[in-house]
Amino acid sequence: MKLALLAFGPLLLAGLVSRRPAATPTSPPAAVPVVVELFTSEGCSSCPAADEVARTLEATQPVPGAEVIVLGEHVDYWNRLGWKDPFSAAEFSERQRQYATVFTEGSYTPQAVVNGRYELVGSRRAELSQRIAEAARAPRAAVALSRPTAATLAVRVGSLPPGTAATEVLLALTETGLATQVGRGENAGRLLHHAAVVRALRPLGTVGADGTFSTTAPLALDPRWKAANLRAVVLVQERASRRVVGVGTLPLAASPVPPAAQ
């Protein structure tokens, strides 16, 4: 009898184990979008290395908990030195000057600015990854984007972090896959492949006193841009500190999704 009970014991245990509820799989937390603004120029011989770092970070997304969003902003102050960068604009040089008043490092290329909080030489991959990870842990606003029509972008902002100061909302339109065969200047003869290039940077408005913002803005896409490579990036940025406290992104390759019927 004793032997029979011993033999039967494992079967009872197996039955009990089999009746335990199955573990419910948990989804990993969504990656936090972190903006890396790369101030660069085709006329700068040290910039291609930074472009390569930025492209690799965005393609491989190696920073746990973060989604790297690159904004390649080509400055125009290199244009007088032998090569005019076709993607350059005075507004990007001015934006860099605004950051210089906060970081007191002056304007230089290649410079990376991470969520408006940190600045460093853009080719320093290890330090850049560290700063991206730090930025992803900061409190952030909720930013939601949708595309009700082919020509418009709907933007909603809410839940600003406590203590956020006066804040503006900006729309950047970026295009990937761009390259240039440089004919003159420091990079003469080189084929330069770029990280996501900012094609347009536009103000959308300011966040209200209640901490919310909502608008439907025209996209105004240039037909010369390749639609499959375009993305809308919305920044929520403090005016004084230049800190980016919220980021939203939306690829523009997919068909627009009309609003649901009420």
Domain ranges within the chain, ordered by starting residue: 32-251
Residue 30: what pLDDT? Answer: 86
- 149 by Cβ neighbours in 10 Å (0-12 / 13-18 / 19+) ranks as middle
Where would I find the H helices in the chain? Answer: 2-18, 47-60, 90-103, 125-136
Residue 11: what pLDDT? Answer: 41
Strands 142-146 and 118-121: unpaired
| 3-class secondary-structure state, position 102 | helix
Residue 27: what pLDDT? Answer: 58
Residue 37: what pLDDT? Answer: 98
- Give this prediction's pTM: 0.87
Q: Residue 206 and residue 166: Cα distance in Å, rounded?
A: 8
Which residues touch 27 (CB under 8 Å, ≥6 apart)? none
pLDDT < 70 positions in the chain: 1-28, 255, 257-262
- Which residues lie across from 193 on neighbouring strands? 179
Q: Residue 20 and residue 131: Cα distance in Å, rounded?
A: 44
* pLDDT tens digits, one per residue of 174-212: 999 999 999 999 999 999 999 999 999 999 999 999 999
